[in-house]
């Protein structure tokens, strides 16, 4: 049995889904021990209760104007203070930009082993066995941490959150931390105008490659995405050709996504692209070339012109929604 500290991640005033997935992972690691949620930021206390409804036993909040925007310096001080106060046997973060930045720094400071980018976990003979992809998703390795804090980051969309139980209650306490000597101060955050669903947490992704041929060519994909409540993504080929923004890039040097459904349109299936999407639960590929590599990972393949196939799919899904 261990006490496990789990970081809730806040974006635009709400908790990201991965926070609830992290609570579920923490429950497994705790093996019946206490799961303590941690929220860091400014004005975040009202979100504590939702961590409890998803399985946290209690929540600690650390609020400070200096923590309003994420900095590794500030957040590291806050999390280390929580670790000091709670002495957990486990820590769980989402494998997000924040988790990827902060967790190695904390693991080094705590002299703890860290298993990053976990896609599954189970307890075998008292050890927590973590599964994580290696070689760009071509193989999986299983890892255990043999001593000290069990520290892991979990890949979004892989671990099922627990069912929300609105009747759950738990204590919410605030921890006061003197945040000092920040080496970076965020003056202002300017966001790129992003439309629709968050790509890294989307349940359905419609991705376009160089086969869409122009920025205009993404329109039918966006229409299909609107009908399915999906996010639009892209190959690097499409980004390099300036058909879309690099924030949409999926792959080895882009985002890693694991949606329930991934529809690849005009994407050849280069290994660097597969690294970012091959763990999707169901993959549909639409490509003119029957020999395209993407068909090797696809569950369903449609050999055809995406400009004919995608609008047909949109029409059919619209009918299903009526
Ligand atoms: P192409 O390979 O040009 O494929 C276009 C496909 O569209 C073809 O298969 C064609 O048959 C099909 N097509 C054309 N017209 C139509 C039509 N009308 N209807 C249907 N199908 C059509 N790539 C990534 O995606 N993500 C990464 O993170 C990434 N990182 C990289 C890192 C490194 C270090 C390197 C060297 C490369 C990386 N790449 C990455 C690039 C990768 O190698 C490929 O070049 C890229 O994925 C190709 O993009 P694409 O499939 O859109 O284009």
One digit per residue, the tens of pLDDT, for the chain of length 322 reads 999 999 999 988 899 999 999 999 999 999 999 999 999 999 999 999 999 999 999 999 999 999 999 999 999 999 999 999 999 999 999 999 999 999 999 999 999 999 999 999 999 988 999 999 988 777 899 999 999 999 999 998 889 999 999 999 999 999 999 999 899 888 888 877 666 678 888 999 999 999 999 999 999 999 999 999 999 999 999 999 999 999 999 999 999 899 999 999 999 999 999 999 998 999 999 999 999 999 999 999 999 999 999 999 999 999 987 5
Ligand 1 centroid – CA 235 distance (Å): 6
Q: Can you give the pLDDT at residue 200?
A: 83
Residue 28 and residue 1 in contact, taking contact as beta carbons nearer than 8 Å: no
Distance CA 135, CA 143 (A): 15
Site to probe by mutation for ligand 1, drawn from 216, 219, 233, 236 as the one with most ligand atoms within 8 Å of Cβ, is 236
Q: Can you give the pLDDT at residue 197?
A: 77
Residue 256 and residue 155 in contact, taking contact as beta carbons nearer than 8 Å: yes
Ligand 1 centroid – CA 294 distance (Å): 10
Closest residue by Cα to atom 46, ligand 1, is: 237
Distance CA 24, CA 166 (A): 16
Q: Can you give the pLDDT at residue 194?
A: 61
* Cβ neighbours for 97, distance < 8 A, ≥ 6 positions apart: none
Q: Can you give the pLDDT at residue 44?
A: 94
Ligand 1 close to Cβ of residue 76 (< 6 A): no
Site to probe by mutation for ligand 1, drawn from 241, 266, 289, 291 as the one with most ligand atoms within 8 Å of Cβ, is 266
Q: Residue 75's closest CA among 106, 36, 109? A: 106
Ligand 1 centroid – CA 195 distance (Å): 23
Site to probe by mutation for ligand 1, drawn from 137, 207, 208, 211 as the one with most ligand atoms within 8 Å of Cβ, is 211
Q: Residue 131's closest CA among 171, 167, 170, 158? A: 158
Ligand 1 centroid – CA 239 distance (Å): 10
Ligand 1 close to Cβ of residue 289 (< 6 A): yes
End-to-end CA distance of the chain: 50
Closest residue by Cα to atom 41, ligand 1, is: 236
Angle in degrees, CA 227, 231, 233, rounded to 5: 125
Q: Can you give the pLDDT at residue 136?
A: 75
Count of other CB atoms within 10 angstroms of residue 160: 10
Closest residue by Cα to atom 14, ligand 1, is: 211
Pairing state between β 127-134 and 120-124 = antiparallel
CA distances from 9 to 50, 169, 184 (A): 12, 20, 20
Atom in ligand 1 nearest the alpha carbon of residue 293: 9
Distance CA 198, CA 204 (A): 10
Q: Residue 103's closest CA among 146, 78, 72? A: 72
């Amino acid at each position: 049995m261990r006490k496990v500290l789990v970081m809730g991640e806040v974006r635009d005033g709400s908790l990201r889904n991965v926070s609830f997935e992290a609570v579920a992972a923490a429950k497994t690691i705790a093996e019946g021990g206490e799961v303590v949620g941690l929220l860091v930021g400014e004005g975040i206390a009202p979100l504590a209760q939702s961590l409890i409804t998803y399985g946290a036993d209690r929540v600690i909040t650390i609020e400070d104007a200096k923590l309003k925007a994420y900095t590794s310096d500030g957040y590291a001080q806050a999390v280390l203070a929580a670790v000091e106060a709670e002495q957990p046997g486990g820590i769980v973060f989402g494998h997000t930009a924040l988790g990827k930045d902060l967790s190695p720094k904390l693991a080094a400071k705590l002299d703890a082993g860290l298993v990053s980018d976990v896609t599954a976990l189970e307890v075998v003979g008292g050890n927590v066995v973590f599964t994580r992809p290696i070689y760009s998703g071509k193989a999986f390795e299983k890892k255990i941490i043999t001593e000290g804090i069990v520290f892991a980051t979990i890949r979004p969309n892989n671990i099922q959150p627990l069912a929300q139980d609105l009747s759950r209650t738990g204590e919410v306490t605030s921890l006061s931390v003197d945040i000092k000597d920040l080496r970076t101060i965020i003056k202002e955050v300017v966001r790129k105008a992003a439309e629709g669903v968050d790509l890294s947490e989307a349940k359905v992704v419609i991705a376009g490659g160089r086969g869409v041929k122009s920025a205009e060519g993404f329109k039918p994909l966006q229409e299909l995405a609107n009908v399915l409540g999906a996010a639009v993504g892209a190959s690097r080929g499409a980004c390099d050709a300036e058909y879309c923004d690099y924030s949409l890039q999926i792959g080895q040097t882009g985002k890693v996504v694991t949606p329930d459904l991934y529809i690849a349109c005009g994407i050849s299936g280069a290994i660097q692209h597969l690294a970012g999407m091959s763990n999707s639960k169901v993959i549909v590929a639409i490509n003119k070339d029957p020999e395209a590599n993407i068909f090797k990972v696809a569950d369903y393949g449609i050999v055809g012109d995406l400009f004919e196939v995608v609008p047909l799919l949109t029409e059919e899904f619209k009918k299903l929604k009526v």
